[in-house]
């Protein structure tokens, strides 16, 4: 599989042939979260009868269009060498390197990222304080810690930006454990980063 960055209108969408199968997201929450991101997640594209067709991660293309983004990354499969050459020869299409993307990610063990939570209930002052103590102040301590902390009681959301490890399984699993406890004992979490918060 190859990866390119291309105009959002380049890919064709036919949900009768390639329906959206990922129902884990809360679309409005996802759009808000992605509005905070410079780089949107890639979509899945496959060549079918010579045409680049959207086959997966539809929600990211929909979000890109909602946000007025002009370009998005596409993971391309099923293209012959001639089809791929025609694709990257089109205006606005840039071929990317998986190795370079990984190198850039690993070169930044910490990066500033937005963290956006939506809750199923009213954000009372004591609930927000508990979330700050049990989650934000406990896990987001790298660098300058959490910054630009904001809450929207009407939307039931809390968001902040913080230096976040690129790859740290222990930290991620411990954060998830704390979120599960908060979800179960304090106030249910509806979504995190636009994906529905599911507790198995």
State residue 200's pLDDT score: 64
pLDDT tens for the chain, 200 residues long, are 899 999 999 999 998 889 888 888 899 999 999 999 999 999 999 999 889 999 999 999 999 999 999 999 999 999 999 999 999 999 999 999 999 998 988 888 888 999 999 999 999 999 999 999 999 999 998 888 889 999 999 899 999 999 998 877 789 999 999 999 999 999 999 999 999 998 86
Please state the separation of Cα 168 from the chain's center in Å: 18
β 51-56/43-48 pair status: antiparallel
Q: What is the pTM of this model?
A: 0.91
Is residue 101 classed as helix, strand or coil in its secondary structure?
helix
Q: Domains plus CATH for the chain?
A: 2-106 (3.90.1530), 110-196 (3.30.70.100)
Distance CA 131, CA 182 (A): 7
Reading the block at residue 15, the tokens are: 């949900």
**Widest Cα–Cα separation across the chain:** 61
Distances (CA, A) of 95 to 44, 74, 76, 98: 15, 10, 10, 10
Reading the block at residue 39, the tokens are: 């780089």
């Amino acid at each position: 599989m190859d990866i390119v960055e291309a105009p959002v209108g380049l890919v064709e969408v036919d949900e009768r042939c390639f329906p959206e199968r990922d129902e884990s997201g809360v679309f409005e929450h996802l759009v808000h979260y992605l509005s905070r991101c410079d780089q949107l997640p890639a979509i899945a594209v496959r060549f079918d009868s010579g045409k680049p067709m959207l086959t997966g991660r539809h929600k990211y293309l929909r979000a890109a269009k909602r946000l007025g983004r002009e370009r998005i990354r596409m993971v391309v499969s099923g293209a012959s060498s001639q089809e791929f050459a025609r694709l990257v020869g089109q205006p606005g299409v840039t071929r990317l390197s998986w190795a370079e993307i990984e190198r850039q990610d690993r070169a930044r063990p910490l990066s500033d990222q937005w963290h956006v939570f939506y809750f199923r209930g009213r954000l009372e002052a004591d609930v927000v304080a508990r979330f700050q103590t049990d989650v934000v102040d406990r896990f987001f301590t790298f660098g300058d810690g959490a910054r630009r902390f904001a809450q929207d009681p009407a939307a039931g959301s809390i968001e902040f930006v913080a230096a976040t490890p690129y790859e740290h399984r222990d930290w991620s699993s411990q954060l998830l454990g704390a979120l599960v406890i908060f979800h179960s004992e304090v106030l249910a979490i509806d979504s995190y980063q636009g994906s529905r918060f599911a507790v198995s």
